[in-house]
Amino acid sequence: MVSLLVSPGAAAAECTDLDALELSAARRRLDPEMEACLEGLMGSGEVTVRARASFVLILSAYSGQDLEVYGERMRRHLSALHTTDAEVAYLFARYLWKKSAQTAAPPYTAEILRWSRVAMDGRTRWLHNRRNYDEMVRNLYDMLVQSSLQQAMVERRAFDAAPTDAQRLVADRAKRRARHYLIVAAPCLHKGECGPTFEVYVEGLRECDDLGPLENYARAGRLDDGHRACLRARFRRPASPKRRILDLLIEDADQQSDPGRFEFLLAWHWNLTDSDDPEMAYRFARWLSQHQGDGALLAQWSEAGLEASRANVSEMTELYQWRVQGWSRVAAAAKELDASQSTERSRRELSAAESGLKAARVALTRWCDSNGCPER
């Protein structure tokens, strides 16, 4: 008992200078009598004093490399004194995270998630030190993504073992939370600024292993950001059905109001799968024609589609027409540029554009004479 170790008067005299004790505790572990004195402060006094005493005790245990006591003191601090202390929440989550790595079935997933969220909510307090901020936020993303996926798998296994409505709700909630953290972390993880790439973690969720149910969603443009993130992640895995995954993403993007997403995905599909695929060339040219896209790209992809050839006469006719559209846009832009600059380079570009437009019109006329074309 504290009363047997230190008298009330000694306690008041010895451990009221918390500033000095904090500096001492950061360098080395305090002696047992001083820690007992601080424990005495934990039982009385104002909340702020108790919280400061608790923090000094945490530092003392860490300096003494007594990690078990260190962890228990942090748990007590967060649970009983200061549930929104971002710094201690971060330290405790990291402590549990490292401790979990030593077990086959991590037992602290719920606590890691809880205190990582508290630390993430208070992360702005670290902005004064950019280096620490980047490192700590990266660690938080790692913990949130991996722990949420682990929790989702645990809840899914529980539902498979006992498929009740209540357990289904729990499993669905865990899955949605995991998807949320994947979406939030994805921008950093894609850039390589927040730890390992997130597709490694998405492996465990298996949100999109069965592509069949996603086809109807993609055709209706109803894939959400979680589906898209999972599909992009699965695309990078060995032996994945890349063509089918990209077809789903393109089908979905074709229904969205953001044309940039469709343009990016279609170009990605073309470059990463089959560059001689006439279907991809046709779809990209069609999109550029419908959305007043870049004329040079429209001409390029129309020509690529024509070179690959197609059995459908009406689609071949469209490609010939789109090539004329593309060169017309290129020629109009070159003419406008030459009118404003009138340089040797602008004149060469205008001449090349007019030659390309003339050749495209001649080819369209020949095609129409041989195959017939609707009124142009």
Q: In the numeric block, which tokens belong to residue 39?
A: 């424990």
Per-residue pLDDT of 309-348, as tens digits, reads 666 888 889 999 999 999 999 999 999 988 988 888 888 9
What residue has token string 């913990």? 143
- 134 sits in the region (left: phi over 0; alpha: psi -120 to 50; else beta) called alpha
Encode 251-264: b = buried (16+ Cβ within 10 Å), e = exposed: bbbbeeeebebbbe
Q: Which residues contact 21 (CB under 8 A, 6 or more apart)?
A: 15, 30, 34, 38, 56
Q: Tell me the domain boundaries of the chain.
A: 1-83, 275-376
- The answer, yes or no, to whether residue 135 has pLDDT greater than 70, is yes
Share of the chain above pLDDT 70, in %: 76
Residue 186 has pLDDT above 80, yes or no: no
Q: To which H or E segment does residue 156 belong? A: helix 130-161
Model-level pTM? 0.48
More confident residue, 10 or 341: 341
Would you say residue 70 has pLDDT above 50?
Answer: yes
pLDDT in tens, 214-234: 787 788 777 766 677 677 767
